[in-house]
Structure 1
Amino acid sequence: MAEITKNGSPRKESSYSERELAGIAGFTLFSASVLLAAFSPLLATPGTNTPVMHGLTHGTMFASMAGFYFVITRFIKRRNEFVSSRRAQAVFLVLQLLLPAAVLLETALELAFPLALQFTLWAIQGAASAYFSCTWADLRSSLGEERIRSANLWSFGLAGCIVTGVLAMPSFVGLTVFLLLCACSFALLVASPPSGTEATSERDERWLAETSRYSANGSYIMTVDGMMCGVIAGLVVARISKGVLPPTIMGLAFVCVALIFFVLHKKAPGLLAMGRVQLVLLPFLICGLIISGFLQAPWNTVAALPLFVILYLLDYTNASVLSLRGTLLSISPCYCFARGRIFIVLGQALGWFAGAFVATEFGKGWLTVAAMILIVLVCIYIPVATVNPDKYPIIADAPDPAKDQAPPEGAQGPTPELVIEQHYKHKCAEATRTYNLTPREGEILFFLVKGRNARHIADQLYVAERTIKTHTYHIYQKMGIHSQQELIDIVEQQEANDDTAESCPPIL
């Protein structure tokens, strides 16, 4: 069973091509550059190297990112062509280099650019980062669902190591390396394989309009996640700029996130579903907020570090799922990524702005009140996250064509090969019951365990291939997995029980 792949053939260890490796390396360097810009004081100038200015500049960057995601999902119809255009990529590379180049000049020549110009450059940096995040999300779709998760994990872990190294360098050298990271990431993007994603058709636009709706609970959760991440990150960055903490602490925090994610992936993959991981970490979030809000320095900083790791673990879980969504649903990957990131990025902008407020002389008196507000917002997780916990902010249940059309006349019904013993049918039934799958999802689960791909299942069940991918996406979310091989492994671990055989989908 474990050696069967999604195309039904024996599983083989295949290596990445040179162009795929170039793409993964480019995504790694891009991730490092974004983490450096968004969660470190590297791009601060002498005039903006204060807690208040850190909050305002970083908040401006995240607000610009949210604005870009909104524009690309609402007003740019041919978004796939836009993010894959070499001309557009070159333009946004130049825009991405403006802020670090300006900071480098200001540091080297002891200049003082107007604050209005600096905030404009931060906004441009946010838009450029959002553009390339959509580009890389679209490009990774060429890897296939089995490899996207692995590429995300290793890229993020290596990016954390790069961030640690860059932040350990002197400021001038670190800025130079930052410019090289951006340039090398672009060079590797050019050398990467094309995404293979077709331009969004009118049919896709109609499907997106009918099924891509925001859910209130998912939107609320992501906004609050972002707010907390922005507030705590602002606290840590302020402590770094004051010399209380070493700059490398942020890079080490990202490495810890990757390690925790890797351990959960190996030991408890079910916890990586968005609803589950949030509820499990909820007590830690509340306790951390209480400690950070009521302790004095430096103990509030000590409490903030593990809290930031927990918060960014939520963000990384979210981003990993979004990277797979377009592939699983057979629609624009950059659309799914951008539309799903709006709320959490907007929340981070609000968090950074709130951090800037409490860092002012007037805002310091409101620190306890701000902490209490955050605690109340997190406590609302309990009723919100337990209602439809597997719902995400953008994808509603897609219509099932099988309900609207009958099988072709004269069809004999699906008769897949009997390659799995009765023992595995019982395991399939047990998994269906354990993870509360619908009858239709349990039916598709059985085919997936056999290693069948979406096209084969669609042919057997007389439904559209898009419908199978939608159901597969829902199965993955309920089981907290990201690949077909993980699904096979989980089903194999189920205890076969003859009493549950009756719940197995009648597909044989």
Structure 2
Amino acid sequence: MSGDVSPRQAASSAFLLVAVGGFSLFWAVFLSMLMRNSFLDVDIENLWHHLVLRIALFVGFGLCSFVVSRTPEGVIGNRRRNVMTALVALFSIIAAVSSATYFITQTAHPLGFDLIVWALAGAGLCCLFFLWVESVSAVSQASIVKCLALSVVCGCGFYLVINMLPSPFNIAMLAVCPLISLGILKALPRETERSSAEAIPLAESKKNAHMSWAFGAIYVVYGIVFGLGAGSVTQIAGDAVLFVGIAVLAALGALAAYAFMQRFAGRIAQSNMLRMVFPFLVIALVPMSFMSNVVYTLCNLLLLGAYVFVLLTSIAYELQTANKRRASYLFFIGRSQTALCVGLIAGYGLGLAASAAGAINLSVLSAIALGLVVLLAAFVTFSPTEPFVHGTENGEASPGSAGEAGSAASEDGTGAGDPSGEGPARGEHEPGHWKACCATLAERYGLSPRETEVFYYLAKGRGIEHIQNKLFISSHTVKTHTYNIYRKMNVGSREELLDIIEDEKRSQRGE
């Protein structure tokens, strides 16, 4: 395996336009399968039946995510891509045949048939999702966030179109959208195509990822809460107002994710991002426990917006973290999606149990979800370590956390983390190992000799003026080299650069 990592570049306008259009069709179909819709939930009085089908959907999605996360090569090869493309095409065939059959006969399919159909549909949607994630993962972090957010916003518009159309036109749209999305994927500009040199074996990804058990546990609890909310929306009578509400709240969740990543990318850890969602979950779940009708519906839709926010920010964080830690993006995102699916299945399952028993109403389930959120908030807030990463118990700075030494370095050349003027801002007790890490990173990211010199000073926490005086170059030249270094290493701040060095140190120690 090559040790080189191609620097991720900003996406061109043409790439973004095509990617947003194609990816949006996935989100339109995904929302149609996830939420209450106009033609798949015709016989809504059989609430338990619809909950069972959505459990089957996420069983298929979750199993496919798990298989993808275990990809031995760490990238989607041609053979695997062909299989995934076939499963997407199978989704379209299934959607067309099963929906059209129901529309024509007005007779429900046998439950066993529906379970198989929805599980295969979940696998097909999962394949389309990962094919699009692969396409956008090779561009810069800013382009990834923009593509994810805009594609969801556009997808919400397509969701409305699908649900507002009369049958059988909505059925045709549901079946055709994945095929069109695949076609757009094939026509996508190849300026950002991943090469086989970027393949990272599964064993190396596991070693470099430093994931803890809490990573999955937190996402499972989130999935339970979101599953309860989505299951509750399924019982609400479908009309144009509800469909508009679903589209608007999902779009707002995407825009909130975009604004958050623009504002805090590189300066806030993923666990802190999850903490910020707690107030919105509490606001949504408290009224759900004792109110109904319009307020109840709005609360469920607020949960949908929070789900979209968590989903998009998690994808962006995990793509960034995978690149920094030299691990497969399929491993990171596959693990998180599997955990979310497990939680969604459990959430739908709680609603199914309540519906079948008739002894527990959805208000009680909302109170249960609120209790889970409170416990989760207490765990994440008061946990003394970063819950996503192994190795922080010994006092190491966790990847993704702000680098105090780097952020405290002033532009006048005084590095707060390096009072002696010689040692690095982090790891002063082992300068030799620190220099070896910097040399390895400079070679890996293809830094020029002059960029490497600037990189060493940046890694020490030095400011612009200090660097220009040491290297006898202008401040403009220092800024140009700094920009090129950040671009090649796909970072947006000094803190992210220092985090990469910390991750490399851990990797070389074998931690």
TM-score by length of 1: 0.71
1:125 aligns with 2:125: no
After superposition, the C-alpha distances for 1:88-134 in whole angstroms (9 at most, x for unaligned) are 24311222113321112321344542221111110001111112222
Q: CA deviation digits over 1:52-80, x for unaligned, max 9?
A: 22211112111221122223334x42463
The one-letter code of the counterpart of 1:234 is G
The whole-number CA distance in structure 1 between the counterparts of 2:493 and 2:124 is 36
Query: Alpha carbons of 1:49 and 1:60: their partners in 2 closer, same or farther (altered >3 Å)?
Result: farther
Question: Helix, strand or coil: the match of 1:246?
Answer: helix
RMSD of aligned residue pairs (Cα, Å)? 4.1
**CA 1:322–1:35: 2 relative to 1, 3 Å:** farther
Verify: 1:114 aligned to 2:110, yes or no: yes
Aligned position for 2:354: 358
Q: Which amino acid aligns with 1:147?
A: S
- 1:423 correspondence with 2:411: yes
Q: SS state of the match for residue 138, structure 1?
A: helix
* Identity, % of aligned positions: 16
Letter in 2 for 1:176: A
**Cα contact 1:79–1:335 (8 A) shared by 2:** yes
Residue correspondence of structure 1 range 153-172 to structure 2 within 5 A: 153-172=149-168
Distance of aligned partners of 1:273 and 1:37 in 2 relative to their CA distance in 1, 3 Å threshold: farther
Give 1:282-361 correspondences, 5 Å limit.
282-360=278-356
Measure how far apart 1:213 and its partner are: 5.5
> 1:25 is matched with which residue: 21, 26, 33?
21
Q: Is the 8 A contact 1:79 1:199 kept in 2?
A: no
The equivalent residue for 2:204 is 207
The corresponding residue for 2:224 is 227
Could you tell me how far apart the structure 1 residues matched to 2:327 and 2:232 are?
A: 39
**CA 1:50–1:195 in structure 2 vs 1: closer, same or farther (change >3 Å)?**
farther
Contiguous gaps of at least 5 residues in structure 2? 1-5, 393-408, 419-424, 429-433, 456-488, 498-511
Query: Residue 355 of structure 1: CA displacement?
Result: 2.0
Question: Offset of 1:24 from its aligned partner?
Answer: 4.0
The alpha-carbon deviation at position 225 of structure 1 amounts to 0.8
Partner residue of 2:368? 373
Change (3 A) 1:294 1:146: closer
Equivalent runs, 1:176-255 vs 2, <5 Å:
176-192=172-188, 193=190, 195-198=193-196, 204-212=201-209, 214-241=211-238, 243=239, 245-255=241-251
User: 31, 34, 55: which one pairs with 1:35?
Assistant: 31
Work out the CA distance in 2 between the residues paired with 1:271 and 1:307. Answer: 26
From the superposition, tell whether residues 487 and 254 of structure 1 become closer, same or farther in structure 2 (CA, over 3 Å).
same
Residues 422 and 295 (structure 1), Cα distance of their counterparts in 2 relative to 1, 3 Å cut:
closer
Cα distance in 2, alignment partners of residues 49 and 200 from structure 1: 51
**Is 2:451 aligned against 1:456?**
no
* Structure 2 CA distance for aligned equivalents of residues 259 and 285 of structure 1: 17
Does the aligned pair in 2 maintain the 1:257–1:309 contact within 8 Å?
yes
Q: TM-score, normalised by structure 2?
A: 0.71
1:448-500 Cα offsets, whole Å, 9 max, x none, are: xxx99944399959x9xxxxxxxxxxxxxxxxxxx957427999xxxxxxxxx
Contact 1:40–1:237 (CA under 8 A) maintained in structure 2: yes
Shift of 1:289: 1.6
Aligned-pair distance for 1:226?
Answer: 0.8
Q: Offset of 1:20 from its aligned partner?
A: 6.3
Alignment-derived partner of residue 378 in structure 2? 383
- Contact 2:145/2:258 (CA < 8 Å) preserved in 1? no
Inter-CA distance 453–136: structure 2 relative to 1 (3 Å threshold): same
Question: Aligned partner of 1:305: which letter?
Answer: L
- Aligned CA distance change for structure 1 residues 455 and 363 (closer, same or farther; 3 Å): farther
Q: 1:149 to 1:284 in 2, by over 3 A?
A: closer
Q: 1:109 to 1:150 in 2, by over 3 A?
A: same
Partner amino acid, structure 1, of 2:213: A
Mapped partners of 1:366, 1:81: distance in 2: 44
Q: 1:159 to 1:145 in 2, by over 3 A?
A: same
User: Once the two structures are superposed, what CA deviation does each residue of 1:149-168 show, in whole Å capped at 9, x if it has no partner?
Assistant: 22222222222222233223
Q: What does residue 69 of structure 1 align with?
A: 65
Q: Measure, in 2, the Cα distance between the counterparts of 1:117 and 1:259.
A: 38
Aligned residues: 425
Residue 257 of structure 2 corresponds to residue 261 of structure 1: yes
Structure 1: any 5+ residue segments left out of the alignment?
Answer: 1-5, 399-420, 431-436, 464-482, 492-508
| Counterpart-to-counterpart distance in 1, 2:12 and 2:20 | 10
Q: Which moved more, 1:208-217 or 1:171-180?
A: 208-217
Deviations 1:285-336 (A, max 9, x none): 2342222122233432233222332343223221222233433334332232
Aligned match of 1:98:
93
Whole-angstrom distance in 2 between the partners of 1:17 and 1:244: 34
Contact 2:224/2:345 (8 A) holds in 1: yes
Structure 2: how far apart are the matches of 1:38 and 1:30? Answer: 12
Report the more deviating stretch, 219-228 or 129-138: 129-138
> In the alignment, which residue of structure 1 is the partner of 2:52?
56
Range that drifts further, 187-196 or 345-354: 187-196
Aligned-residue offset at 1:367:
4.1
Supply the distance in 1 between the matched residues of 2:305 and 2:247 (Cα, whole angstroms). 11
**Distance in 2 between residues matched to 1:71 and 1:256, nearest whole Å:** 31
- Using a 3 Å threshold, how does the CA distance of structure 1 residues 298 and 208 change in structure 2: closer, same or farther? same
Q: Which amino acid aligns with 2:203?
A: R
